[in-house]
Amino acid sequence: MRGAVSRQMTSPEGLTSRESTSSQRARSPRDGRPEKLGWLPPLVLLVNLAVLGLLMGYSSLNLLPDISSPPMLQARAYFQWTVVAGAIAPAGAALALLWPVLGWLRQRRSDPAADAAPDVPVAIAQRAANAPLALAIFSLLGWLLITGLAGVRALASVHEISLGLAVHLVIRPVLAGLIAGAATLFGAEYLCRTHVWPALLVSTRIAGNSRLWRVRVSHRLLGLWLAVGALPLAAVALTTFTRVADLDLGAHPVLGRLVSVIGLIALSAVVGGAWLAWMVSRSVAGPLEALETAMARLRDGHFDTREPVTATDEIGAVAEGFNLMAGRLSESYAALEARNRELAEALDRVVFLERVKHGLDRFVPETVRRAIEENPEAPGLGKTARDVTVLFLDIEGYSRLSEALSRPTMNAVVERYFSLFLAPIRAEGGDINETAGDGLMIIFQDGESGAHAAAAVRAALAIREQTARANADPGHRHPPILVNIGISSGECDVGTTRFAGPVAERWTFTASGPVTNLAARLGSHATGGQILLSPETAIRVRDRFPVRSQGLVSLKNLSVAVEVWEVAGAPHTPADIVAERNDR
């Protein structure tokens, strides 16, 4: 018992419910052999035949000289009816009760898929659980029929018999029936406990199940006391007093003392046996009922439940094991609660960080975000030389518009137009690197050199188109907006620029170098919504877009004049557009 409790405490299965145990259907010794349920009807037949044989032997020694069979109920017919009522009928009733269970077991054995199924039907489990008590009731009912036959035989006897003998004639099958019922109950229950119930009651809830006929320990002890003590002694006392009822015990003092001794022994044995049975019942059933109540409290979540150890026998060991199990379960639950709190706090931090990340995503370039997500510990953000295309755009006449419009109106205009630009920029793989009031710096670096240069030009044309559509909206009362764009391609140092001081550190992701400066100067030089290209960009896209040269232009802060190119319109043909999409 102690080992079983220890295994339950140390194994993960010991902390799970009956339902989780039912999922493990691999054959093991604890699974039992439920097919032995078929032994119960023969057991009922054998027990009742044995009790019937004892009764016949008792009758041949005690009653036959004093009672004869009437013509309507000959000895042979009486014996046949006794066998049918006391043995065959209870066995047949037992077979009828267990037939659905036996059929289900046969089906499970013949069907491998059914044999692997973990769930036992509720009706099958209930029949198997109630079988021992039901078979005992069948046996007792059969013997009550025999009692009726005995009464008929006593009333119809051709000899005059005393009242005591008549009562004895009727009472003896009742006593035999109680003995047969108790023997059937204990025998069938032993067979079910050892072979049937371990397999069929795996997923059945016992406590609080009103459909199960529970025979408590006190009831079993009462039945055992009746079967082995009270009933046999009552039969001895009844036989004795019946036999001496017509005798003058005063004339036979020795016989009188013998009768008194028999009566005293029977009475003391019955009373003492009842007292002992009650004491044992309270010693066994009381602690078990207390453990059942404690387990119910533990099942309801009261993990501080403990049961005092009041014995040194198996019941004390069970109580000790229960306390150890409850203690470990309480510790596990406390640890789980602590982990749940830690997990809840971690989830709160994750939610907070997700919100922060979502907010920072609006300020951090897409390239930086991807690099950090790929390697948060050491993102590859150092400055490296890469071939990129840089696009600068700004709103023409921003200062003049700021003077004409209020600050909220001007901010709303900038946000509205720049919001329209986000979709085409993202669609072409552009990464908004910097914003400065009325301007944006956008880096294109996906694909080969011609591909990201063409992507920048397509984005610029889409920005021009979005600007024209927004200007055509009659619902906005402000001057038309013109967006000037400068685009330059070539090798830049792309990565982070770090500013570190004694109290703070600032990182900026950008593309630096002459290419970036040239794109900014082209954007400043453009007017009227022009899209101006550097010579390198024009070379890369002139086969895809109509461009025209504006000649050499001296740009601000550049020592050498630069040939400036302007995008004249959309791509040449649909075939050119398909080629550009393929390049992407």
Summarize pLDDT for 143-158 with one digit per residue, the tens. Answer: 999 888 877 766 766 4
Q: Average pLDDT, stretch 380-385?
A: 71
Could you tell me if residue 231 is inside a domain?
yes
241 & 159 share domain: no
**Cα separation of 518 and 219, whole Å?**
102
26 & 110 share domain: yes
Q: Average pLDDT, stretch 562-572?
A: 76
197 & 234 share domain: no
Question: Residue 25 — very low, low, confident or very high, per pLDDT cuts 50/70/90?
Answer: very low
Question: Residue 72 — very low, low, confident or very high, per pLDDT cuts 50/70/90?
Answer: very low
Strands 562-567 and 531-533: antiparallel
Q: Average pLDDT, stretch 58-66?
A: 60
Note the pLDDT of residue 48.
93
| 412-422 residue pLDDT tens | 888 888 889 99
Does the pLDDT value for residue 188 go beyond 90? yes
79 & 209 share domain: yes
How many domains, in total, are found in the chain? Answer: 3
| 273-291 residue pLDDT tens | 778 777 777 777 778 878 8
Length of the chain: 584
Question: Residue 68 — very low, low, confident or very high, per pLDDT cuts 50/70/90?
Answer: very low
* Residue whose pair of structure tokens reads 């959309």 in the numeric block: 570
Contact indicator for 444, 428 with CB cutoff of 8 Å: yes
**Cα separation of 373 and 534, whole Å?**
34
Could you tell me if residue 338 is inside a domain?
no
Does the pLDDT value for residue 365 go beyond 90? no
95 & 143 share domain: yes
Could you tell me if residue 352 is inside a domain?
no
Bridge partners of residue 486, in order along the sequence? 392, 532
Note the pLDDT of residue 21.
42
Using the 3D structure, point to which of 213, 239, 263 is the last residue of a domain: 213
Indicate left, alpha or beta for 28 from its phi (over 0: left) and psi (-120 to 50: alpha).
beta
**Cα separation of 97 and 138, whole Å?**
10
Does the pLDDT value for residue 95 go beyond 90? yes
For the question of whether the overall pTM of this predicted structure is more than 0.85, the answer is no
Q: Average pLDDT, stretch 24-28?
A: 41
Using the 3D structure, point to which of 300, 327, 360 is the last residue of a domain: 300
Contact indicator for 455, 430 with CB cutoff of 8 Å: yes
Among 75-84, 132-141, 306-315, 464-473, top mean pLDDT goes to: 132-141
Contact indicator for 443, 367 with CB cutoff of 8 Å: yes
* Residue whose pair of structure tokens reads 């919100």 in the numeric block: 355
Longest Cα–Cα distance of the chain, Å, equals 159
Does the pLDDT value for residue 105 go beyond 80? yes
Q: Average pLDDT, stretch 199-209?
A: 81
Higher pLDDT, 309 or 9: 309
130 & 231 share domain: no
Look up residue 480 and give its DSSP letter: P
Could you tell me if residue 76 is inside a domain?
yes
Contact indicator for 430, 517 with CB cutoff of 8 Å: no
Within 8 A by CB and 6+ apart from 407, the residues are: none
Note the pLDDT of residue 382.
65
Could you tell me if residue 374 is inside a domain?
no
| 507-539 residue pLDDT tens | 777 778 899 999 999 999 998 889 999 999 999
Could you tell me if residue 332 is inside a domain?
no
**Cα separation of 304 and 360, whole Å?**
48
**What percent of the chain has pLDDT above 90?**
25
157 & 221 share domain: no
184 & 248 share domain: no
The CATH number linked to 480 is: 3.30.70.1230
Note the pLDDT of residue 369.
64
Using the 3D structure, point to which of 178, 213, 248 is the last residue of a domain: 213
88 & 230 share domain: no
Could you tell me if residue 337 is inside a domain?
no
Note the pLDDT of residue 480.
84
Tell me which residue range forms the domain holding 274: 216-300
| 442-465 residue pLDDT tens | 999 888 989 999 999 999 999 999
CA torsion, ordered 392, 396, 399, 405, to nearest 10 deg: -120
Question: Residue 63 — very low, low, confident or very high, per pLDDT cuts 50/70/90?
Answer: low
CA neighbor of 398 nearest in space, from 338, 440, 337: 440
Contact indicator for 415, 406 with CB cutoff of 8 Å: no
Among 3-12, 318-327, 379-388, top mean pLDDT goes to: 318-327
Strands 531-533 and 547-553: unpaired
**Cα separation of 264 and 165, whole Å?**
21
**Cα separation of 228 and 175, whole Å?**
11
What are the two backbone dihedrals, phi and then psi, of residue 506, each rounded to the nearest 5 degrees? -135, 130
Could you tell me if residue 2 is inside a domain?
no
Mean per-residue pLDDT over the chain, rounded:
79
Does the pLDDT value for residue 134 go beyond 90? yes
Higher pLDDT, 59 or 492: 492
264 & 162 share domain: no
Tokens linked to 223: 């039945």
Does the pLDDT value for residue 23 go beyond 90? no
Note the pLDDT of residue 364.
59
**Cα separation of 113 and 146, whole Å?**
47
Does the pLDDT value for residue 548 go beyond 60? yes
Does the pLDDT value for residue 328 go beyond 80? yes
**Cα separation of 285 and 315, whole Å?**
10
527 & 573 share domain: yes
425 & 555 share domain: yes
Indicate left, alpha or beta for 491 from its phi (over 0: left) and psi (-120 to 50: alpha).
beta
Question: Residue 75 — very low, low, confident or very high, per pLDDT cuts 50/70/90?
Answer: low
